[in-house]
Structure 1
Amino acid sequence: MAATTKGIDCAVPLTAEKAKKMSEAGMRFVCRYLVPASMAWKRLTRPEAEAITAAGMKIVSVFQRGTKDVAGGAVNGTRDGKAAYQEAKLIGQPEGTAIYFAVDYDAQPKDFAAIEAYLRAAARELPGYFVGVYGSYAVVEEMARRGACSHFWQTYAWSKGRLSHAANLRQYKNGQELAGHSVDFNDGLGNEGWWDTNPRPMDRFVDIEAAKKVIHHLGTLWLASSDKQVQEAAHFAANALRDVAGIPRP
């Protein structure tokens, strides 16, 4: 297995002092909640994001109201996507990074269609950002298979010891204490979609002309395939690339 990056997630905001202590303890990223002001007790703010960055750590954004909002399908996805976009812009989360949406229960196959609809609806409200899902092995595997989103944060809960090859993050131990703060421990597995508040050297990560060529090839794939899932994945990837490169969607 490739080397992993150690990090934590937590509900209660971090002070600058605690962020520094966590960094000194070897943590390299913090997963925090991108939620509306009505949930201030766990809401990530710009000052906290700056404190995490100053401590030398990255930030992973996750949106969650309740445990089963994703079961509400596209209606809830649209609502939460809009709210996440507003918060991301408010705190200065740069485009080209990810926002994860939580499936914080033991979702069953009967729930998967609603979860997919939720994620796709949220993505439509988040131009410029990648959409990810937090959930069990089954959720990660199924949403990856369906091409419902691009980033995956797997929890050990409900996963029966399995780890998806699609996972970008892995939550492996809950209810711990670090620097006097209640945390869950996580591993970064690559392409996590995290960010920080440091100035970026350029506005876009993707060359527009190169992006157009890739989008053209994805269109060719869409036309050539008779597999609906392949077509959906190609369509999703093309729109995600358009968003990152600043190319308007058709």
Structure 2
Amino acid sequence: MKGLDCATPLQQASAEAFARDGYQFACRYLVPTGWKRLTREEAELISEAGLQVISVFEMTADRALGGRAAGLADGATALRTAHAIGQPEGSAVYYAVDFDATTHQMPVVIDYIRAASEASPGYLTGVYGSYRVIEAVREAGVCTRYWQTYAWSRGHKAEGIHLYQYRNDIVVNGVRIDLNDSYGDEGGWSTVMRYNLKAEDVNEMIERFLSHEFDQASREDKIRRNYLANELRKASGQPEQLYIPE
């Protein structure tokens, strides 16, 4: 998928222009204050334009050198900010390592990402950085989403990344942006719930898969199946069905 990241807040006209140009996501700053911060209002207009939002947390470029203490503080701030602007749990927050981190600095960077993840439960944790950062953080197993920039990567591109920033500092639709590709499962989100499920298709799925051998299922499994069935019903505009476990 084609996308962008930018510090400049998007307006309705620019968000709609990017959507018309085939962009599918916009990476914006999940920070509590400052001119570049993503607001609830901006998230809504980006979503209404048909773009996904991808959240990146960055207060200063080398903040990760603050290690565990900085990570705990930033993770807690990201958590509060995500809740305040309506970012749904289950989506991702990428913490930026926006400098040419050295091998010597990597243990501190890893401590920062690990702590940020601990302090922001409910959200997927990602890292933005160079090839060296991506490889080190993934090897340490401290997050699950990876956004590599070509900057400082010296021509290397990591395997299994979710986002790739391949060009910086161009002006499109009056906004200074960087260009990115997504390879799927990057943890984007939207304030707009768009469903195209047909009721008859949903009911067939429920009958085939969720109702199969229902009587023989455990109590916990019955409750889970009923929950999933009702989520599908809601997605297709149907009313929920009450289930009272024995």
Q: 2:53 aligns with which of 50, 53, 59?
A: 59
Q: Note if 1:129 corresponds to 2:137.
A: no
Secondary structure, counterpart of 2:176 in structure 1: strand
Q: Map residues 28-177 of structure 1 onto 2, 5 A cutoff.
A: 28-37=24-33, 39=34, 41-177=35-171
Match of 1:246 in 2: none
Alignment-mate amino acid for residue 63 of structure 1: F
**Which amino acid is 1:195 matched to?**
W
User: Match for 2:8 among 8, 12, 15?
Assistant: 12
2:174 is matched with 180
User: 1:23 and 2:23 equivalent?
Assistant: no
Between the aligned partners of 2:51 and 2:192, the Cα distance in structure 1 is: 11
User: 3-state SS of the aligned residue for 2:64?
Assistant: helix
Give me the whole-angstrom Cα distance separating, in 2, the residues matched to 1:78 and 1:200: 34
Q: What SS does structure 2 have at the residue aligned with 1:67?
A: coil
Higher CA-based Rg: 2
Whole-Å separation in 2 of the counterparts to 1:166 and 1:136: 14
Q: Which amino acid aligns with 2:31?
A: V
**TM-score normalized with structure 2 length:** 0.78
- The answer to whether the 8 A contact 1:144-1:166 is kept is no
CA distance in structure 2 between the partners assigned to 1:164 and 1:54 by the alignment: 33
CA deviation map 1:130-153 (0-9, x unaligned): 110000001001111110211000
Shift of residue 195, structure 1, vs aligned partner = 0.4
Taking the aligned partners of 2:160 and 2:57, their CA distance within structure 1 comes to 20
Gaps of 5+ in 1: 202-208, 211-250
Structure 2's unaligned 5+ residue stretches are 196-219, 222-246
Where in structure 1 do 4 or more consecutive aligned residues deviate above 6 Å?
Answer: none
Q: Which SS does the other structure have where 2:104 is aligned?
A: helix
- Distance in 1 (CA, whole Å) between partners of 2:124 and 2:63 is 19
The percent identity for this pair of structures is 46
The number of residues matched between the two structures is 197
How far apart are 1:200 and its partner, in Å? 8.2
Q: Distance in 1 between matches of 2:184 and 2:157?
A: 14
Post-superposition shift, 1:120? 1.1
- What displacement does 1:172 show? 0.3
Please list the CA deviations of residues 165-205 of structure 1 after superposition, one character each: whole Å capped at 9, or x if unmatched. Answer: 1310000000011101100000001211110002488xxxx
RMSD: 1.3
Counting helix residues as a fraction of each chain, which structure ranks higher? Answer: 1
One-letter amino acid of the structure 2 residue matched with residue 52 of structure 1 = I
Q: Separation in 2 of the partners of 1:54 and 1:178?
A: 20
Task: For residues 215-242 of structure 1, give each alpha carbon's deviation from its aligned partner in whole angstroms, at most 9, with x where no partner exists.
Answer: xxxxxxxxxxxxxxxxxxxxxxxxxxxx
- Residue matched to 2:217: none
